[in-house]
Structures are given as C-alpha cells and as structure tokens.
Amino acid sequence: MKKRSAFSDVISTMILSSILLTVMVVTTSLANDILKNEIVSAEFATAKNLMKTIDSEMNSILFNPGSTSAIKNSFAYSAPGYSTTGRVMNITFTGKTPIPIKLNYFNIESMPGVGGSFDYTLQGSDSLIMPSYEGTIGRIYISKPYNWRVSLDYKRALYTFTGIIDYFNGTQTTKWNTVEVFVVEMDFPKFEYTGSSILILKNEQILSSTFSLTGNWSLTVSTVEDGSSNISISEIGGNPANPSLIKFHKIYVSISSMGGI
C-alpha cells in the first residue's frame, strides 16, 4: 500500500506541476500580449504626432522649389509606407481641358491589435475645394483597411481670391479679378524601411500657368470616389462682369525613406 501511495503521490505531483506550468505559460503569453498591445497603441499615438509633424514640414516647403526637410523616426511594430492608387483628381476650369493630378497617399501602418475608433479625419479638411484662409491643403486621416493606418493626402484644390486689379491695355483701363489655385501631387522615388529611417521631404518643382476666363466661370474638382465639387468666381468673391486672370500652380512633392539609421 505504501508503494502505491508513493506512486500515486508522484503522479499527483506531476499532474500538479503540469497544470502549474500550463498556467504559467498562459499567464506569461497573456502578459506579453497585453504589453505588446500597449506598445503598439503607444506607437500608433506617436505615428499620429509624426504625421502632424510631416504635414507641418510639408507646409513649410510647399512654396519653395528645391527645399527639403529631414525627419528621423523609429518603430518596433509600425511602419511608414505609401499607397499609389492609380486614380486621379481632375481639376477643371470652365471651357478648359481637365488637369489630372495623381492621387497618392503617405501612410504609417500599425498592427491589427490597436483598438479605438477609425474612419475619421484627424486634421485638415475633407472638402475637395477650400479657400487658403481655412487651413492647409493636406489631410490626415485615420482608417483601418487591414492594419490601423494614419495617412496624409492632398486630395483637394486650394484657392485664393487675390482681389480686383486695374489693368491698362494701352488704350483704356479695365478691371480684372485675380485668383490663384494650388494643387499638390505626391510621389515616393526611393523608399527603404528597416525599423528606423530618415524621411526626406522635398519640393521637387512648381509648374505654374496663367490664363484668363470671362463671365461667371467655375472651378470643378472631381474624383471617382468622392464625386465632384465646384465654385464660381462670384462665390469666390469676384465680379463676373470683369474678366478673370487665373494663376494655376501644380506643386510636386516627394517623400523618400532612407533606412538603417
């Protein structure tokens, strides 16, 4: 009986040890998952702030061709990247051929474990057309196509009514409305990421053109996914009885990533 009791005690000890080991493994795994999720959530908050910095730096170089800005970054579970959609935003002035602008986005994606709300604008405007005094042309958007994503896009046109001028054509003076329109096209010529990198923001060039329109002309901005929006010279603040001088600026910017810092 003593031998059976001893053997039974050994079996009981082995079963208890096995149960304790399982509990320890499960507890450790759960603790690691909780810690990982906390790190991922903290990184996503950092990604939002980084994107705000990128948008701010972009605004500082938008009107200075050749200017650059460098931003260091490092993530454990998130990664900067980009989306080239293959779609365009069309800019159309009354009577003119539409001007296509490539729609590309700069993204920072996190792991699926991050929780919270999504599909909302963190900063900027959802409008396709907006006056310059209402804010910047960039928009920061939070979404969840698969991973959690914070993205920067330039899916809109910015306009400025610069006033009414007197123009002397050699024989008489006429009044003209003057308007400036800005659009941004973003590309990603070189992109490497190894957990840490330097993001290089650059204003590649600005192509400007000047043309005139008459009457109550309108500016229309359209995309496949968002439809179209338009505004007329009278809504901008000009006088349709005057001819209008329009200065159109297409700003080319790029974001490159140099890995391994």
pLDDT for 108-119, tens place per residue?
998 776 667 789
Mean pLDDT of the chain: 86
For the segment 14-24, the average pLDDT, to the nearest whole number, is 50
- Residue showing tokens 């993530």: 75
Please tell me which of 13-22, 135-144, 187-196 the model is most confident about, judged by mean pLDDT.
Answer: 135-144
Distance in angstroms (rounded) separating the CA atoms of residues 157 and 172: 34
- What is the widest separation between alpha-carbon atoms in the chain? 127
Domain that holds residue 211: 2-259
What total number of domains does the chain contain?
1
* pLDDT computed for residue 8 by the predictor: 56
Model confidence pLDDT, tens digit, residues 174-203: 999 999 999 999 999 999 887 788 999 999
Q: Which residues contact 53 (CB under 8 A, 6 or more apart)?
A: 71
